[in-house]
Amino acid sequence: MLNNRNIVIGIAGSGGDGVVSAGEILVNAASSDGLFVFMLKSFGAQIRGGECSVRVRISDLPVQSQGDRIDVMVVLSWSNFLRFRTELLLKDNAVILSDTDDPMPDKDVPLNDQQRELWYKIPFSKLANEKTGSSLAKNIVMLGAISELFSLPKEALNKSVHKKFRNKPDDIIESNIKAMQAGTDYVCEHVEKKDPLRFEYEARSPRLVMQGNEAVAMGAIYAGLEFYAGYPITPSTEIMEWISRYLPQRDGITMQMEDELASINAIIGASFAGRKAMTATSGPGISLMTEGIGLATMAEIPIVIINVQRGGPSTGLPTKTEQADLMQAIWGSTGDSPRVVIAPCDVEDCFDCTVMAFYISEKYQMPVIVLSDQFIAHRTESVSPDAIRGTKEGFRKTYTRDIPNEEELKEYRRYKFTESGVSPMSYPGIPGGEYLGSGLEHDERGYPRGDAVSHQKMTEKRWKKFEYIKQEFRFERFYGPLDAPLGVIAWGSTKGAVKEAVNKANAMGIAVGALVPQLIYPFLLDPFNEFMKNKKRVIIPEMSFSGQFKRYLRGFIRFGDYGVKDVAYAKAGGSPFTVEEILNKIIEVWKDMEARR
Amino acid sequence: MERYGGQTMNEAKKAADYRSELKPIWCPGCGDFGFLNAMYKALEELQLDPANTVVCSGIGCSSRISGYVKAYSFNGIHGRVLPFASGVKMSRPETTVIAVGGDGDGFSIGAGHIGHAARKNINITYVVLDNNIYGLTKGQASPTTPLGVRTKTTYYGNMGTTFNPVRMLIAYKASFVARTFSGDPKHIQKILVEAVRHPGFAFIEVLSPCVTFRGQDQYKILRERVRYLDESYNPENEVEAFDIANDENMLALGVIYKKIRPTYDEIIQQNVISKAKAASNGVAKIDKLLEQFQP
């Protein structure tokens, strides 16, 4: 099925081929024409050079995923393309473009006859040399060629090239523009179009281009972040890089610490001192922070921790995604240690969830973990400027912790028992608010208490907050018909493939609905009760081999009580779910349901 | 950014005003009492405002001290007092931050943090009450337990030579390194006042005997092993300071090394925030930050 309002372009080459630059120029061009964009990058393990690929999906309609199969595959170097052969799946009738100067190695090239038929060889390097005196601009020549071949937004591309080279001398900009034109001209003059692919769209007002990690950073600034401490770790590092540059522009402090133990304790110190504080990390780092998270729960210190999940355990797959830190996030501590866990499901949601995390942590004085993952963190999406500016509906509330009033300061009790479990929190600079904060169990004033009665009462105080958090918001998303007999429950980045698969399945006549919770912990029962009505089967897809999400849900609900059979669809991370995978599972379960009817 | 300004004090504070209601859990004769009493006096001498003073600690006998001082105080987790203190200080540079811990807290589990707090020159005072033993867990070897000493976890004698904290801190470029002794609270008070006034990371090793697990004779032994630095001693000479630190037979008391250089909060204000705000023409607005995401 050819859909001309949606195109997936793959570009592969070596690090020096300008693969990512070309992808970024495409993304910027499409976004400035108001199109919906989704870009994934993939690299080899080398620090510089090595193989590199991007997959850019451009659409006139909202997109939820990377697009399973590639329509147009641009090969800037065959040897590097071959390293991505399991990642870059081509459509049977995919169009191939390659450089005339880079002959295909004879064996092992996975192209079918149809693809070989739709194969354009264009002298990218030669044209680049002619126009710029260097083959470096072959990626720009390529953009000129594909814009002509597939009717991509040419003017916007032109503008994007200007922007890309805006810090370079005029003659460099000019020669790149010429290189792009040369690609276009070559196609006009020498290429006979053999494929039917022509992208159709209507230009709209520009959208913003963001990655998940950038949206987290922006969300934190929006929420009023004042202090960030962290330690670099893939795939979370961009959050700290961004914040270290822009937080000081808003009078905030960024500290690079010696390790994650230091990072979490530094933000606890900053928050104790009355500042909105955050850190970001990934698997190995969150392991080191675990003790500190327990301290923040015990001392009732508001902090926000971003965990950009990667494949684990241990060093695992640093540049690949997984959803297997769920149990760690919810339960990872000694003692009974309440914390809130929120999971964003796309780039825009990274912004929302971070704002929400600050709101909850400040209001309820406890640690909040945002469970992002590499698949969201490193993808580029075009997002609505209104959504980020806060003019669109979404979570935009900010909160600054309650401080004691004059009456309360007369005989200040930091951990005073209250209805909601939240007691006003003073900080250095407030006379009369002096208190002892402690990781030890304590009384209302913070003084150590080792008796069972105090421990029971204080534990109740810390857990009480959950009841109020659960009452305050609804944090879930439903897709497809709510009363469908077949359901899918997913969390985090799996949402994209699930939403798209559910839409496709319904278009095929399969009645299936999906539930994607945003607040993962504490567990909200109401959305599940609504969702489970009429359900017979529920598929639970997750990038966790041991099925952590399913096990987690089973701790709160018994599927059997709803007359529902839960179907696990658990796999190890590494590559995210495709729409095809989820759709096939839906079809499989649906057929089984039909057969038993 | 400021939501609640600092406050000046009207009446002069007395040492007793800094005493909290908690009674120390320490054993009779513990060296930490000597330090605590000297600390109350130092706070009086400095006339610190409790509302703008943070006393924080890790875990161990000496780390209980945060509960005994009337100020903003925090008793965190084992070994992490310096990152916590750094977070407080960088968040509220106007606050006086005193971090306290023991030799286990500082030189064993928390050893990785000392060099970084020192090299960044975080403007705090870090006091290690060094008793050469783990007291709270009742008598196991610490990084400063002498070689060959039998403890509960080194039944056949302590293995591995001991840390030399003063030498370590000079090597880490701490901008103020001093040693004092629980048996001389007046000296502690003098050193602590100087450390708090020092603009930068100030480290004090307090020889603070554990009479319970290291023996009742510790004061006597130490008294014979300590000497006071001359008034004429110039602590700004790094080579001389190392020589003094290297003498592990006669332990020098006083400010052994001192070098004033910019503190981390000064650097952040002058080299980071001012540059950032020059780049953004004042405090950046959200809409301004969003511009970079425009295609």
pLDDT in tens, A170-227: 999 999 999 999 999 999 999 999 999 999 999 999 999 999 999 999 999 999 999 9
CA distance B240 to chain A (A): 30
Does B23 touch chain A if contact means CB atoms closer than 8 Å?
no
Residue A424's pLDDT band (boundaries 50, 70, 90)? Answer: very high
Query: Cβ(A147)–Cβ(A154) under 8 Å?
Result: yes
pLDDT at A1 over 60: no
pLDDT attached to residue A191: 95
Task: Give tens-digit pLDDT for A36-50.
Answer: 999 999 887 677 778
For residues A252 and A258, give the distance between their C-alpha atoms in angstroms, rounded to a whole number: 20
Residue of B nearest to A33 (CA): B295
For residues A270 and B268, give the distance between their C-alpha atoms in angstroms, rounded to a whole number: 15
Question: What is the mean pLDDT of the segment spanning A258-276?
Answer: 98
Q: Which residues pair with A280 in a beta bridge?
A: A306
DSSP string, B188-246: HHHHHHHHHHSSS-EEEEEE---TTTS-TTHHHHHHHHEEEPPTT--TT-HHHHHHHHH
A-facing residues of B in 273-292 (CB < 8 A) are 273, 275-277, 279-280, 283-284, 286-287, 289-290
CB-hemisphere CA count at 13 Å for A418? 14
For residues B214 and B145, give the distance between their C-alpha atoms in angstroms, rounded to a whole number: 9
User: Taking Cα atoms as reference points, which of A152, A90, A98 lies closest to residue A120?
Assistant: A98
Question: What is the mean pLDDT of the segment spanning A425-429?
Answer: 98
As a whole number, the mean pLDDT across chain A is: 94
CA distance A404 to chain B (A): 12
pLDDT attached to residue A390: 61
CATH number of B15-261: 3.40.50.970
Tokens of A580: 């095809």
Task: Give tens-digit pLDDT for A471-513.
Answer: 987 778 999 999 999 999 999 999 999 999 999 999 999 999 9
Q: Domain ranges in chain B?
A: 15-261, 263-295
What is chain A's length?
Answer: 597
Does A28 touch chain B if contact means CB atoms closer than 8 Å?
yes
For residues A49 and A77, give the distance between their C-alpha atoms in angstroms, rounded to a whole number: 13
pLDDT at A4 over 90: no
pLDDT attached to residue A288: 98
Does B112 touch chain A if contact means CB atoms closer than 8 Å?
yes
Residue of B nearest to A31 (CA): B295
Chain-centroid distance of CA A257 in Å reads 25
Judge: A269–B91 Cβ closer than 8 Å, yes or no: yes
Chain-centroid distance of CA B188 in Å reads 12
Query: Cβ(B84)–Cβ(B77) under 8 Å?
Result: no
Residue A3's pLDDT band (boundaries 50, 70, 90)? Answer: low
The domain made up of A207-470 has a fold known as Rossmann fold (3.40.50)
Interface with B, mutate which of A427, A435, A445 (most B CBs under 10 A): A427
User: Taking Cα atoms as reference points, which of A64, A27, A394, A26 lies closest to residue A209?
Assistant: A27
- Vertex B56, ends B53 and B59: CA angle to 5°? 165
Question: What is the mean pLDDT of the segment spanning A406-434?
Answer: 97
User: Taking Cα atoms as reference points, which of B226, B242, B230 lies closest to residue B166?
Assistant: B242
The residues, any chain, with a CB within 8 Å of residue A6's CB and separated by 6 or more, are: A57, A58, A59, A60, A61, A63, A67
Contact residues, chain A, for B79 at CB < 8 Å: 261
CATH architecture for the domain at A476-596? 3-Layer(aba) Sandwich (3.40)
Q: For strands A36-43 and A380-383, give the pairing.
A: antiparallel
Backbone conformation region of residue B207, classed left if phi is above 0, alpha if psi is from -120 to 50, else beta? beta
For residues B174 and B124, give the distance between their C-alpha atoms in angstroms, rounded to a whole number: 11
Contact residues, chain B, for A30 at CB < 8 Å: 295
CATH architecture for the domain at A6-206? 3-Layer(aba) Sandwich (3.40)
pLDDT attached to residue A391: 53
| Residue B269 DSSP one-character state | I
Judge: A428–B72 Cβ closer than 8 Å, yes or no: yes
Query: Cβ(A544)–Cβ(A570) under 8 Å?
Result: yes
Task: Give tens-digit pLDDT for A73-89.
Answer: 999 999 889 888 888 89
Selected residue with higher pLDDT from A107 and A522: A522
pLDDT at A425 over 90: yes
Omega cis (within 30) before A313:
yes
Closest Cβ–Cβ partner in A295, A427, A435 for B77: A295
Judge: B294–A272 Cβ closer than 8 Å, yes or no: no
Residue A106's pLDDT band (boundaries 50, 70, 90)? Answer: low
Does B196 touch chain A if contact means CB atoms closer than 8 Å?
no
Rounded alpha-carbon distances, angstroms, from residue A44 to A47, A321, B158: 8, 15, 49
A-facing residues of B in 77-106 (CB < 8 A) are 77, 79-80, 82-92, 94-95
Contact residues, chain A, for B94 at CB < 8 Å: 429
> Could you write out the three-class secondary structure of A37-100?
EEEEEEECCCCCCCEEEEEEEEECCCCCCCCCCEEEEEECCHHHHHCCCCCCCEEEEEEEEEEC
Q: For strands B125-130 and B202-207, give the pairing.
A: parallel
State the residue for tokens 């980020």: A388
Tokens of B80: 């992490």
Closest Cβ–Cβ partner in A31, A291, A438 for B295: A31
pLDDT attached to residue A392: 57
Does A282 touch chain B if contact means CB atoms closer than 8 Å?
no
pLDDT attached to residue A42: 87
pLDDT at A153 over 60: yes
pLDDT attached to residue B147: 95
pLDDT attached to residue B1: 36
What's phi and psi for B47, nearest 5 deg?
A: 50, 45
In a 10 Å sphere around its CB, with 0-12 CB exposed, 13-18 middle and 19+ buried, how is residue A350 labelled?
buried
For residues A407 and A416, give the distance between their C-alpha atoms in angstroms, rounded to a whole number: 13
Judge: A435–B73 Cβ closer than 8 Å, yes or no: yes
Rounded alpha-carbon distances, angstroms, from residue A135 to A11, A16, A51, A119, A131: 17, 10, 18, 22, 9
Angle between helices B81-91 and B111-120 (to 10 degrees): 30
For residues A14 and B97, give the distance between their C-alpha atoms in angstroms, rounded to a whole number: 52
Residue of A nearest to B112 (CA): A258
pLDDT in tens, chain B (295 residues): 334 444 444 689 999 999 999 999 999 999 999 999 999 999 999 999 999 999 999 999 999 999 999 999 999 999 999 999 999 999 999 999 999 999 999 999 999 999 999 999 999 999 999 999 999 999 999 999 999 999 999 999 999 999 999 999 999 999 999 999 999 999 999 999 999 999 999 999 999 999 999 999 999 999 999 999 999 999 999 999 999 999 999 999 999 999 999 999 999 999 999 999 999 999 999 888 988 999 9
DSSP string, B69-117: BSSEEEE--TT-HHHHHHHHHHH-TTSEEEEEEEHHIIIIITHHHHHHH
Judge: A248–B92 Cβ closer than 8 Å, yes or no: no
Contact residues, chain B, for A262 at CB < 8 Å: 80, 82-83, 86, 112-113, 116
Contact residues, chain A, for B118 at CB < 8 Å: none
State the residue for tokens 């179907």: A567
Task: Give tens-digit pLDDT for A433-446.
Answer: 999 999 999 999 99
Other CB atoms within 10 A of residue B223 CB: 11
Does B266 touch chain A if contact means CB atoms closer than 8 Å?
no
Are both A6-206 and A207-470 of the same fold? Answer: no
Q: Domain ranges in chain A?
A: 6-206, 207-470, 476-596
Task: Give tens-digit pLDDT for A388-403.
Answer: 766 556 678 899 999 9
B-facing residues of A in 295-354 (CB < 8 A) are 295, 299
| Residue A577 DSSP one-character state | P
Rounded alpha-carbon distances, angstroms, from residue A5 to A8, A28, A191, A347: 10, 18, 23, 22
Element holding A289 (H helix, E strand): helix A283-298
pLDDT attached to residue B4: 41
pLDDT attached to residue A79: 87
The reply to whether ipTM tops 0.90 is: yes
CA distance B104 to chain A (A): 17
